[in-house]
Amino acid sequence: MKLTGRNHVHTKLNNKIVILQTLLRHGAMSRQDIAELTKLTPATITNLTAELIAEQLLVECGSVVPAKQRAGRRSVELDVQTNSMYVAGVHVRQDRWEAAIVNIKGEVISSRQWPLDGLNWTQLIPEIIQELKGFFHENKQYVVYAVGIGSFGLIRHVTGKVLQPNMGAVPELPLVEELERHLKLPVYIDNNVRAMAQAESLYGQGKIAENFLFVYIGWGIGAGLVLHHELYRSGATGAGELGHMTLFPDGEPCWCGNRGCLEMYASDAVLVKRLKLSGTDDLLKLARDGNTMARAALEEAGVGIGVALASYNNIFQIERVIIGGVLALEDLPLVHRVREEIQSRSFLARLHPVEVTVSSLGPNIGTIGAASLAVDMHFLTLKD
């Protein structure tokens, strides 16, 4: 047990953060409801919310009739001031990178995207710096407080470095240090799928769920685990490489050095290649039009992902799985097969069924995820 004392100033700041997190996750509510959820005294809530209103972080948004009618005047609801603060989210994918200005509630205000065109990290960093400066100037009416970056690959979150030399990067590339030096803003980085899991926890299907696993099915397959509303990170890489669970011990060779990885059978890239299509959009259209081969490919992918998640559930016993990605739609067979495989193959799921839902954050989940890193680290994390 870590025994660390906190002075009055730290306690006050921590309680303000708890109030902001509560309103972001649960929406507008009365001071009394905030006190009940946070276990803070009504007097503390009254004092701290008054300060947060003065700081223009909270706003009173009308009266509410309580479920149990009380004597006296109606309660006044409080909410996070939607446009009180802005951050930038940068999402680096295998095919392009994209940026967005996002408010504290996770709403995209403005966005742009650029092709990678075979750039390596050494070439991409100056491009990101130059394009972001121009993007910020075009949107100068929004004051950006911090930048979050979600990137594919192995990222050392604590030190802000690219760990694996993907895209031609030297090992331990000091990405955050370089960007902060030029942008003159705090910069935070993590793997893009863990960033998406953070966004789900703050703004999406995981807002109320205390524990859940987020799975992203894209050009690769990744996962982010949230435990007690906290994004789980382990070791140098932060964990979450679901796509590299072995599905077939003697299967297809994977770029990671292993064979038979899930990613080699169920990712967008593999399905598109197998069906000889030009991209995921073509696969989506074919599947929605009822094409037998496209729908069969999605079913097969769903089986593979479900098998992996059934084993995962037998280890961690997760209560909810949230699936994101272009093909993660309820009108397609992939999610349905994932749901069926988990329930039928995991004996713990038969005891306690796992809720499998689709992300509500849509196609902007990458930039919202990156932005949520900045919101969490810059506004919702108590600094030592």
Structure tokens at 220: 């690769």
pLDDT at 382 over 70: yes
Cβ proximity of 378 and 87 under 8 Å? yes
Cβ proximity of 16 and 51 under 8 Å? yes
Distance CA 136, CA 109 (A): 12
Tell me: the pLDDT tens digits for 10-50?
Answer: 889 999 999 999 999 999 999 999 999 999 999 999 999 99
**Closest C-alpha among 280, 338, 329 to residue 309:** 338
**Stated pTM of the model:** 0.90
Distance CA 302, CA 337 (A): 5
- Rounded to an integer, the average pLDDT of 51-64 is 88
CB-based contacts of 177: which residues, under 8 Å, 6+ apart? 160
Distance CA 15, CA 37 (A): 12
Tell me: the pLDDT tens digits for 327-341?
Answer: 999 999 999 999 999
pLDDT at 273 over 50: yes
Give 1 or 184, the one with higher predicted confidence: 184
Distance CA 167, CA 120 (A): 5
Structure tokens at 382: 């108590």
**Closest C-alpha among 367, 338, 381 to residue 196:** 367
At residue 234, the pLDDT reads: 77
Structure tokens at 156: 């050392």
**Domains of the chain listed by start with CATH number:** 8-80 (1.10.10.10), 86-196+365-379 (3.30.420.40), 207-360 (3.30.420.40)
Tell me: the pLDDT tens digits for 288-320?
Answer: 999 999 999 999 999 999 999 999 999 988 889
Tell me: the pLDDT tens digits for 69-120?
Answer: 555 556 799 999 998 899 999 999 988 999 999 999 999 999 999 998 888 8
Distance CA 299, CA 306 (A): 10
